[in-house]
């Protein structure tokens, strides 16, 4: 019986990924591209995804923008507020490499230094289709227990 329940919960994690958006100093370009994912053309609700206003309700964190020094602690705080299991998707080139801000003294070089990122969606900005694919992939990772936070929890 517990085996069935665990399996059911794992499937549910894939079927209902709730998303929280976090802008850590982005130019808003990527945030604008996340919007259409939940509008008629892409409609992520078909995959069970919903935008949530509170990180406590979310499963997936969508991070946009290079992490500036002023938002670094806040990003960590919001990440800690998401209940486990959770996945992090870094949207756009900024969180990955700093993009055009690379080398700036006011940003953290890569999001990797602040929180464990599961998926990167490159682009400046990426298209909504690729963001949607990342959400579905992250939901699959949550089902299999393969997100980095889940693996860290398992291996201590």
Partner 1 sequence: MADSLLHTLFALLVWPGLLGGTVLAWFLSWLSRKLTARLQGRQGPPFYQPFFDFFKLVGKQALLPRGLHPALFYGLPLFGLIAVVFSLALLPVSGAPGLSLSGDLILLVFLLEVPALVDVLAGFATPSIYSQVGSAREALLSLAYNLPFISALIAMALYLGSFRLEDFANAPIGPVTVLAAIALFTALLARLKMNPFSIPNAEQEIVGGVHVEFNGLPLALFELTHALELAALSGVIALLFLGPVSAPWLRLLLYLLGSILVVALASLVSAATARLKVQHAFRFYWTWGAAASALVFAAALIF
Among the listed residues 1, 46, 113, 155, the single contact to partner 1 using CB under 8 A: 46
In the complex, the smallest distance separating the C-beta of residue 56 from partner 1, rounded to whole angstroms, is: 4
Indicate whether 56 belongs to the interface with partner 1 (CB under 8 A). yes
Angle separating helix axes 128-144 and 2-15, nearest 10 degrees: 170
CA–CA separation, 84 and 89 (whole Å): 15
CA–CA separation, 68 and 110 (whole Å): 10
Half-sphere exposure of 146 (CA within 13 A, CB side): 9
Indicate whether 11 belongs to the interface with partner 1 (CB under 8 A). yes
Indicate whether 16 belongs to the interface with partner 1 (CB under 8 A). yes
Indicate whether 52 belongs to the interface with partner 1 (CB under 8 A). yes
Q: How far is CA 48 from CA 17, 23, 27, 69, 100, in A?
A: 6, 23, 28, 34, 34
Give 31 or 59: the residue with its C-beta nearer to partner 1: 59
40, two tokens:
């008629």
Residue ranges of E strands in the chain? 18-23, 50-51, 60-64, 87-91, 119-121
Among the listed residues 28, 32, 43, 76, the single contact to partner 1 using CB under 8 A: 43
Among the listed residues 32, 76, 77, 84, the single contact to partner 1 using CB under 8 A: 84
Main-chain phi, psi angles of 150, to 5 degrees: -65, -40
DSSP state of 92: S
Give 13 or 72: the residue with its C-beta nearer to partner 1: 13
In the complex, the smallest distance separating the C-beta of residue 8 from partner 1, rounded to whole angstroms, is: 5
Indicate whether 85 belongs to the interface with partner 1 (CB under 8 A). yes
In the complex, the smallest distance separating the C-beta of residue 55 from partner 1, rounded to whole angstroms, is: 9
Q: What residue ranges bind partner 1 (CB under 8 A)?
A: 8-13, 15-16, 39-40, 43, 45-46, 48, 52-54, 56-57, 59, 81, 83-85
């Amino acid at each position: 019986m517990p085996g069935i329940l665990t399996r059911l919960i794992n499937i549910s994690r894939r079927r209902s990924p709730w998303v929280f958006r976090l802008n850590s100093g982005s130019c808003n370009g990527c945030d604008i591209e996340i919007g259409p994912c939940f509008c008629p053309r892409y409609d992520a609700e078909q995959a069970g995804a919903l935008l949530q206003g509170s990180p406590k309700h979310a499963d997936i964190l969508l991070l946009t923008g290079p992490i500036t020094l002023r938002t670094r602690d806040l990003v960590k705080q919001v990440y800690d507020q998401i209940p486990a299991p959770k996945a992090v998707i870094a949207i756009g080139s900024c969180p990955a490499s700093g993009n055009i801000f690379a080398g700036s003294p006011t940003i953290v070089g890569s999001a990797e230094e602040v929180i464990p990122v599961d998926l990167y969606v490159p682009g400046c900005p990426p298209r909504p289709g690729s963001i949607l694919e990342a959400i579905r992939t992250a939901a699959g990772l949550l089902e299999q227990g393969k997100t980095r936070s889940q693996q860290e929890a398992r291996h201590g």
